[in-house]
Amino acid sequence: MRSWLTILGIIIGVFLITSLLSLSEGLKASVMQQLRGIGTDIVMIMPGDISDIITTLIGGTKLTEKDIEAIKKTKGVEVVLPMPYKGEVVKYQNSSKTVILYGLDLKYGLSVYQEDMSMKVTEGRYPTAGQRELLVGASVPKDVFPGLKIGTQATIKGRKFEIVGILKSLGSKQDDSMIALDLNIFKSVTGEKEAGEAVAKIANGFSPDEVAKNIKANLIETSKRQRGEESAKFSVLTNEAMSSMVGSIMGVIQAAVIAFASIAVIVGGIGIMNTMYTSVRERTREIGILKAVGAKRSTITLIFLMESGIIGLVGGVGGTILGLGLAKLIEAVAQVHPVFHITASISPSLIIASLGFSFLVGCLSGFFPARNAASLKPVDALHYE
């Protein structure tokens, strides 16, 4: 009973580590995969300061059509594509779901979407500019509207659209669950004129870093002149900058997760130590018997170390199973809800590391109690009541 409570302490710690790490690792992997699909001559433009990423993500500010014009005028920009998106209820046959709609600038950007952003169709074709046609993400026919087929029709805000193509997977569930349509039709259907972000393709012979800087300067000047805003902030990121930023943000998150969860495991370890001290005291007589019949110090130490190590390991196994279970559960819940997607990354190294860590914590916690046990004098131990 006492052992089980001790094991529970370890379970909680390891549970935290594995569930949080597998989710954050999954998040990192999917973001990185998305970024890899984007060419190096693409820059992303977002309103707001990137260091204040929370505000940006919540979507307080957006890029106006004027901002897009300013980007377009910047030297070295071959083409700029606003990337507006909005959640709308889409009705397909008998089911209605809220899906993220993307507006695609099909007139100017078709090749950029296909070549530089890896948005390729597996089936069907891209919509034609000006037509009420839909291009759906790879998960839409599987998870969002199971059985969806090309050539059928879906309804958005009372207007009928024809589904003409299915995209190849973009690496993240969130992107794969979207539905894309022509930019102008998107604007008229959703009423959304502004874009949360935009991408620009850099013309040959220009350095992405240089152009990114110029775009930023232009945007700030434009917003000053037009809106009188002094503090307008924009983030213009090259692909490389994005990758390193995502990497470092995820690194910080993971370090924090590991630090907090480790504290939980260490607290569990202290619990093991307590249990082992009690156990040594309770079994003093048995230790005396073992010593009387020839057990060496090292044998006694090993017996208690193995015991505490096994307590740690059992806790580790329990925690890993529960943690990965929770991660998978979150992933499953998130899949049903297409707006919020997260995958759990369950790597063998994560499992091995958490099991190894818990065994190690168990052994370390058992070290002093085991040494106590080993150094008992046989005659004293035998007469202990």
**C-alpha torsion sign, points 60, 34, 198, 224:** positive
Q: Does 148 bind another protein (CB under 8 A)?
A: no
CB of 296 to another protein, least distance (A): 4
Cβ nearer to another protein, comparing 230 with 385 = 385
Q: Does 2 bind another protein (CB under 8 A)?
A: no
Which residues in 269-298 contact another protein (CB under 8 A)? 285-286, 288-298
Contacts of 122 (CB under 8 A, 6+ apart): 138, 166, 167, 168
Q: Does 378 bind another protein (CB under 8 A)?
A: yes
CB of 10 to another protein, least distance (A): 23
Q: How far is CA 245 from the centre of its chain?
A: 14
Contact flags string 338-377 toward another protein, x per CB under 8 A: ---------------------------------------x
CB of 298 to another protein, least distance (A): 7
Tokens representing residue 47 in the block: 């309103």
CB of 275 to another protein, least distance (A): 17
CB of 282 to another protein, least distance (A): 11
Distance, CA of 132 to CA of 117 (rounded, Å)? 23
Cβ nearer to another protein, comparing 85 with 304 = 304
Buried b (16+ CB within 10 A) or exposed e, 5-34: ebbbbbbbbbbbbbbbbbbbbbbbbbbbeb
DSSP 214-253: HHHHHHHHHHHHHH--SS--EEEEEHHHHHHHHHHHHHHH
With contact defined as beta carbons under 8 Å apart, do 21 and 350 qualify? yes
Cβ nearer to another protein, comparing 81 with 300 = 300
Number of residues that bind another protein (CB under 8 A): 18
Cβ nearer to another protein, comparing 97 with 291 = 291
Contact flags string 298-337 toward another protein, x per CB under 8 A: xx--------------------------------------
Among 209, 214, 218, smallest CA distance to 241 is for 209
Cβ nearer to another protein, comparing 65 with 282 = 282
Provide the terminal-to-terminal Cα distance of the chain, rounded to the nearest Å.
23
Distance, CA of 324 to CA of 330 (rounded, Å)? 10
CB of 306 to another protein, least distance (A): 15
In the chain, the amino acid numbered 210 is E
3-state secondary structure of 91: strand
Q: Does 1 bind another protein (CB under 8 A)?
A: no
CB of 310 to another protein, least distance (A): 15
CB of 382 to another protein, least distance (A): 7
Give residue for tokens 């213009």.
Answer: 236
Q: Does 54 bind another protein (CB under 8 A)?
A: no
Q: Which residues bind another protein (CB under 8 A)?
A: 285-286, 288-299, 377-379, 382
